[in-house]
Chains A and B, each alone.
Chain A
């Protein structure tokens, strides 16, 4: 059985325990309500149509309701069952049968320009409804579906309130330089910012996973497509007000173990006199001065009302989140409104949506703060006797960093969209969608005189704006002849993007008091040292698309899509590309030979093939451009020089992914146990990279060209089961697992050659590249020296040669987990609900940069160190120059308790009672991590070509406890 059923039972029981108040009517109607098999249904709401007069059925399914007149039309409703309307006459008891809603199988899934029933999907599409979202305080809407979709890795790599650090990767890396982020479509409009949506406004998130599903989105489909559907107005004459508020507190997810002042002083003894600390006399806990428990609060209010013809939805969301690093935080308000109206017997419907997010962000320079906090000598005082900040050698004073520099960003993000649907003759509809997205920000930063004594204050300001316009026109026709179901649609899309911005920098101000607000008064401007910059660019996409779906008896399903798309970013020789997909499904369970297997509700085999693209990330790459360089002295004065900037590549085009996928969906025992297994093989060719070309004849020494080929193959399993389903208790477990193997197939061709790409940086003083991309290898491979011991002199002994020799390097690990898994438990007992999500990633390594650079006594005595410096792994302390050896590469495998939420819901009945539901919950996010990794959090970036580096300066991840309240009116 599905998990919606749980709500249904609980709600029914709740409702049954509280009787509706009944008013002074004199005519009574009576009856009994049962489910399909004839069992009495308690707690069914029975309402006299068009009024608020109602009652709930008893434990034995019977009801008695006073009505204004007989006969009366009653509406019977219960969550999880189809509503029934029936005319009832006083004195004639009725038997009403409520049929179960087939919720799992016949959820409607958004697939791009249209919707289909989940049961008739032919490709891999994951759908997560709001009821299944991760509970609790989430930093980004993406966290709502973390661990919910097999093959979609979602990780939280940072606790920065202003950069949720949430990363996504669908089915492995299929690009070298392009975006790895899925295309996000909000209510049909691309370009919106998912992070800026209010979490409570989201109704459902659908993910087009495979090529067959995503091909309808052409050059933007390779990384998958995330379709977000937001909540809409009510259609039942109701008037609903919802409130959701919470308070939460965040702390660092795991302490960073550095020495306290006393421990540092004792290092001489602790190291048997190997190390002589430099005692500056004070005892300072830098972590305590920098970090804090951070509080957040959020208040969300929504109103929806209307009827089937005309309805609206409005919501306001206020969020205030402090960061665990002092003086960081974010405050914002989201407003969203939507309305729908239909005319001429629903032949014409018009809808409009707008959201506006306004946010203020306060940041410090995280990297410097983290670095200074970790390496500053704990016996240093914060202040000198004179009251000035203490000055240190290698690091800035952490307290100075957070107090004397601040950066504020204010931005406004608006997405408006409108949709007109015309249905001239029933199965034929025409739709026009228009969308306009606008993002604007004004940023300011100021460093006081105390921050850097060289300057009498420094100020930065910048502002940018980007906007995109979307127009889509399409028509759809569907028809059913007997057992033949047919749907066809075709349309046109225009997408236009423009961005521009400017920035300025000035210093030496008459006062610190007015900060960057008077940026013009800095003396550097007069002296010629202030700076200014600006940019503006655009790109445009045009496409024609079509889709055809055919099914016979809902048993044999076939779907095809075509998209012919052009982008202004492409070179003149490759302006347009054709993207297509075919997919089919066979619902075996509907075959007559399966009729004996009554326990089997659904069994479906899916097969599909799809071609999608990935655009170059920047515009203007295919042309020869002239740009201005630095001024030079010519004929007694300075002139700006001008020269070509890049080689032209008229052949520049998209990266093209070909994906074959197959899957099996099944549901059994009354849908109580369901799942799916998917297998895919995707090959992406024409990967873009900058290749070395000879100069001359070329202008620049590199050209961006489509050359490489990469493949990803994997399996995904998703299982869901109702373990306990009784009337009072319901316990469900849902789990998923994914495995992906990545292989770089090709990096060179006749014209453009690369033996390998050495990428990433260890940072000073090691100055080595960390990763390699080469044919036959995997993206994310660490490439360095494998340490196997340490010599008498403390030098690293490495396998196959000497440290530092390029020839003795080898692949020492990989930074991208090949396996991801998640488990979700949901338990409902009477009004209580308890849910827990476990999430894990496996088979990957992390380069612990902090250990590599600072778990080393050669860095000098006047510092703090990680406590692991005493580890003495090779019977001696590491005290030679920091080195990039595998000693600092750790296994990252982890299992996290991502979230545990415990809630209780009160339900109130009666027309006089305006409050219908009240839910209280306690939630913990990122509660505990089981891992052998020694850093703060093994969840580090898995994106890009240099994944798996845990940088010293990253904003640490946090653990969050939340107390929340939801009210429904």
Chain B
């Protein structure tokens, strides 16, 4: 009998193994395995995802074609442009559409900024859900939750800025078939302010590269300064108050030199309030590659780098010419002039001039030179190209010798100079757009380090400060940092100004991007922004 039982058991187990279709997962962690072994030691890796998402603001080797916050928000403004060059950099017109404000609901820039934001928000919701049930010390948990909620609020701030009316989702464990509905821009605004307000006192006072007191306060400042433009409701007093709070905390100060904020090893700059940390060794996915976007493909021989470049974007010529000749921020931000084969690898003789390729006959025989002017050779032609050397190139972030195809410079999201500017702007607006000495003092405090001799007409006078000048001051100080669109919208010039290939219009709907087609398809509850096609 016992034998029979054994046989039966053996046969049964054989039968089971004969039809066993379980997956043995070797190179991925199943949710079950992951949570079974979860301890406090696993927190940094889990939490780290929110900082990996933060790098999506600018990162990825195709971020210029796929869309990222930095490229999108600068390219549609009046400082930065990507003209087509020698048959390249047309790419189906995606850059031109950003410049001309003719983007479509199918454009990658429109789609991927949305997706990156919601992916990050979902990460936060998921972490909140996962950490809620994790066995972590209560105080530590509270702090962790606060950090994640502020990180989430930041992405709603990005969405509020770019798309305005978007769904607010705060839960991870939603019922099956749940599809979020669009909330008004005002509701999104209030949500961000509420979330940051509730959480910011729980954060670390200062922790580099993370959401700490200063970073959260700065996020609030960004909300308040834009409140009038986004919701119609002025929050100038709140702006001044939060800026004062940051200033009074004495945690941050202006760096002695403008360029020091953006050097390769910029992590010690006292000016940085929040940065996304980059490293040429540790970064695998999503590297910081602004140098690749901008420099000419042969710039390698001039700068002695280990990487080649793609050679696309440059400064809008009107803007490049607007700098005061003595303003050192110009050469600290832009590369201009002739390029030489300093390595000798191209020509065999170090110091020889680099000639244009030329990809375009009009460049034939010309020495490669970054010039302020960017003439368009064939206006009206979809490929309206310019010369390969035209346009001064982004050099704000230092490119070290032997630089590789990813930079180690930390990407500055918030910095102290902006606190002074925002306070100045709030005071200027509160005062009916009339500047007084307090306003210009704040701006001059930042301007000072840009001039060898800061005196005379270099010092900004209250009577010189109007909207146009304010926008220029912003551009000189903060160009290439991703805030140009926001600044122009606040001052009402984003659609109404003419620059480069952009012609003025009065279509205020363009101050928001459309909800992308793919998202409308995926979620029938979404509402399209005014002025854009439903699908």
A880–B385 alpha-carbon span in the complex (Å)? 9
Interchain CB contact (< 8 A) of A623 among B25, B285, B535: B25
Which of A112-120, A248-256, A856-864, A913-921 participates in binding chain B? Answer: A856-864
Q: Any chain A CB within 8 A of the CB of B169?
A: yes
Verify B284–A566 contact, CB threshold 8 A.
Answer: no
B22, CB-defined interface residue at 8 Å: yes
B139 contacts A by Cβ under 8 Å: no
Taking each of A566, A642, A803, which has the highest tally of chain B beta carbons within 10 Å of its own beta carbon?
A642
Q: Nearest chain-B residue to A859 (Cβ)?
A: B87
Partner of A632 from B51, B298, B358 at Cβ < 8 Å = B51
Do A804 and B277 have beta carbons less than 8 Å apart?
A: no
Stretch in B239-247, B461-469, B489-497, B519-527 touching the partner: B519-527
Q: Which stretch in B171-179, B327-335, B442-450 binds the other chain? A: B171-179
Say how far A877's CB is from chain B's closest CB, in angstroms: 12
B19 interface neighbour in A537, A566, A753, A857, Cβ under 8 Å: A566
Known contacts A640-B45, A880-B378; A696/B23 CB under 8 A = no
A388 with B348: CB separation less than 8 A: yes
In the bound assembly, the distance between CA atoms of A933 and B382 in angstroms comes to 29
- B52 contacts A881, C-beta separation under 8 Å: no
Contact residues in B for A620 (Cβ distance below 8 Å): 23, 25, 28
Would you give the shortest CB distance from A699 to chain B, in whole angstroms?
Answer: 6
Smallest CB–CB gap between B93 and chain A, Å? 5
Residue from A275, A386, A394, A692 within 8 A of B519 (CB atoms) = A692
Which of A494, A699, A768 is within 8 Å of B92, CB to CB? A768
Q: Given A276-B364, A643-B123, A696-B174 in contact, is the A630-B104 Cβ separation under 8 Å? A: no
A388 CA / B344 CA spacing, docked (Å): 12
Are A454 and B284 also in contact (CB < 8 A) when A500-B26, A691-B522, A793-B381 are? Answer: no
Interface residues of B in 39-76 (CB under 8 A from A): 42, 44-49, 51-52, 55, 65
Is B119 a contact partner of A860 (Cβ separation < 8 A)? Answer: no
Q: Give residues 630-649 of A contacting B (CB, 8 Å).
A: 630-635, 638-645
Binds A, one of B29-37, B217-225, B229-237, B473-481: B29-37
Kindly specify which of A47-55, A420-428, A759-767 makes contact with the partner chain: A759-767
Contact status of A278 and B522, CB under 8 A, knowing A620-B28, A625-B29, A881-B385: no
**Cα-based distance from A747 to B527 in the complex (angstroms):** 23
Residues of A within 8 A of B94 (CB): 767
Bound CA span A859–B87, Å: 6
Residues of A within 8 A of B383 (CB): 858, 880-881
The stretch among A538-546, A671-679, A960-968 that forms the contact with chain B is A538-546
Cβ of B25 and Cβ of A634 under 8 Å apart?
no
Stretch at the interface among A9-17, A337-345, A526-534: A526-534
- Beyond A642-B46, A701-B119, A765-B91, whether A630 also contacts B348 by CB under 8 A is no
**Known A641-B52, A861-B361; contact A633-B277, beta-carbon cutoff 8 A:** yes
Contact among B87, B125, B281, B306 with A858 in the assembled complex (CB-CB below 8 Å): B87
Contact check, B65 vs A767: say whether CB atoms are below 8 A apart. yes
- Tell whether A754 is near chain B: CB-to-CB under 8 Å: yes
Let me know if A626 and B381 touch, CB within 8 A: no
Asked if B27 is at the interface (CB within 8 A of a chain A CB), the reply is yes
Q: Is B210 an interface residue (CB 8 A)?
A: yes
Tell me whether B498 is interfacial, beta carbon within 8 Å.
no
* Distance of A495 Cα from B155 Cα, bound (Å): 47
Q: How far is the CB of B428 from chain A (nearest CB, A)?
A: 37
> Is residue B317 contacting chain A, with contact meaning CB distance below 8 A?
no
Give A669 to B163 CA distance when docked, in angstroms: 78
What is the minimal beta-carbon distance from B465 to any residue of chain A, in angstroms? 39
Interfacial residues of chain A within 374-405, with CB under 8 A of chain B in the complex? 384-386, 388, 391, 393-394
Q: Could you tell me if A860 and B169 are in contact, using CB atoms closer than 8 angstroms? A: no
User: B206 interface residue, CB < 8 Å from A?
Assistant: no
Do A767 and B92 have beta carbons less than 8 Å apart? yes
Q: Which residues of B contact A856 (CB under 8 A)?
A: 87
Given A695-B115, A881-B385, A567 and B357 contact (CB-CB distance below 8 Å): no
Please indicate which of the listed interface residues B28, B94, B123, B378 has the most CB atoms of chain A within 10 Å of its own CB: B28
| Overall SS of chain B's interface | loop
- CB neighbours (8 Å) of B523 from chain A are 694
Shortest B179–chain A CB gap in Å is 6
The CA of A751 and the CA of B522, in the complex, are separated in Å by 8
Residue of A whose beta carbon sits closest to that of B88 = A765
- How long is the Cα–Cα vector from A804 to B19 in the complex, in angstroms? 55
B24 part of interface (Cβ distance < 8 Å): yes
Q: What's the least CB distance linking B148 to chain A, in Å?
A: 13
Distance, CA A754 to CA B520, complexed state (A)? 10
The contact string, 1 if C-beta is below 8 Å from chain A, for chain B 274-308, is 00010101111110000000000110000000110
A627 contacts chain B at the CB level, 8 A cutoff: yes
A384 close to B348 (CB less than 8 A): yes
Contact B48 A632, beta carbon cutoff 8 Å: yes
Q: Tell whether, in the assembled complex, residue B23 and residue A623 are in contact, meaning their CB atoms are under 8 Å apart.
A: yes
Check if A492 is an interface residue, CB within 8 A of chain B. Answer: yes
Interface residue A536 (Cβ < 8 Å from any Cβ of B): yes
Q: With the chains together, A904 CA to B351 CA distance in Å? A: 70
Whether A639 lies near B88 (C-beta < 8 A) is: no
Selected contact of B21 from candidates A528, A536, A567, CB within 8 Å: A567
Contact A695 B122 (CB under 8 A): yes
Q: Is there an interface contact between B31 and A644, defined as CB atoms closer than 8 Å?
A: yes
Chain A residues with CB below 8 A from B385, complex form: 858, 881
Nearest residue, chain B, Cβ from A758: B106
B106: chain A residues at CB < 8 Å are 806
Determine if A627 and B29 form an interchain contact, defined as CB atoms under 8 angstroms apart. Answer: yes
Is B325 engaged at the interface, CB distance under 8 Å to the other chain? no
B370: chain A residues within 8 A (beta carbon): none
B347-399 contacts to A (CB < 8 Å)? 348, 357-361, 363-364, 378, 380-383, 385
Contacts of A859 in B (CB 8 A): 86-87, 359
Within 8 A of A (CB), among B489-535: 517-519, 521-523, 535
Taking CB atoms, residues of chain A closer than 8 Å to B381 are 793-795, 880-881
CB proximity of B122 to chain A, nearest CB, Å: 5
Chain A residues with Cβ below 8 Å from B297 are 393
Chain A residue at minimal CB-CB distance from B85: A765
B118 within 8 A of partner (CB): yes
Cβ < 8 Å to B, chain A residues 482-503: 492, 494, 500
**Contact residues in A for B29 (Cβ distance below 8 Å):** 625-627, 642
Whose C-beta in chain B lies nearest to the C-beta of A648?
Answer: B31
Report A-chain residues with C-beta under 8 Å of the C-beta of B208: 633
Check: B482 CB closer than 8 A to any chain A CB.
no
Contacts of A623 in B (CB 8 A): 23, 25, 30-31
Whether A693 contacts B45 by the Cβ 8 Å rule is no
Partner of B522, one of A391, A642, A694, A804: A694
Please, what's the 1-or-0 string for B77-92, where 1 marks a CB less than 8 Å from any CB in chain A? Answer: 0000000101111111
Expressed in whole angstroms, the minimum distance between the Cβ of B43 and any Cβ of chain A is: 9
B121 within 8 A of A: yes
Q: Which residue of chain B lies nearest to A453 when distances are taken between CB atoms in the complex?
A: B345
For residue A629, CB closer than 8 A to chain B, the reply is yes
- Give the distance to chain A from B47, nearest Cβ to Cβ, in Å: 7
> Of the candidates B20, B24, B25, B518, which one forms a contact with A692 in the assembled complex, judged by CB atoms under 8 Å apart?
B518
Contacts of A278 in B (CB 8 A): 358, 364
Whole-angstrom CA separation of A804 from B27 in the bound complex: 43
Contact B47 A755 (CB under 8 A): no
Interfacial chain B residues near A540, Cβ < 8 Å: 20-21
Residue of B nearest to A625 (CB): B28
Bound CA–CA A699/B502 (angstroms):
38
Q: Determine if B140 is an interface residue (Cβ-Cβ < 8 Å).
A: no
Q: Which chain B residue lies CB-closest to A631?
A: B282
Our pick among B118, B345, B348 for the contact of A695 (Cβ within 8 Å) is B118
* Pairs across A and B, CB under 8 Å, 13 listed: A391-B346, A393-B297, A537-B25, A629-B49, A630-B285, A634-B44, A634-B209, A640-B48, A642-B42, A755-B517, A755-B535, A765-B91, A767-B90
Pairs of residues from A and B, 3 with the lowest C-beta to C-beta distance, nearest first:
A881-B383, A860-B359, A641-B48
Apart from A701-B118, A793-B381, list 10 A-B contacts with CB within 8 A: A537-B27, A566-B19, A626-B30, A626-B31, A632-B277, A643-B46, A693-B522, A795-B382, A804-B93, A859-B87
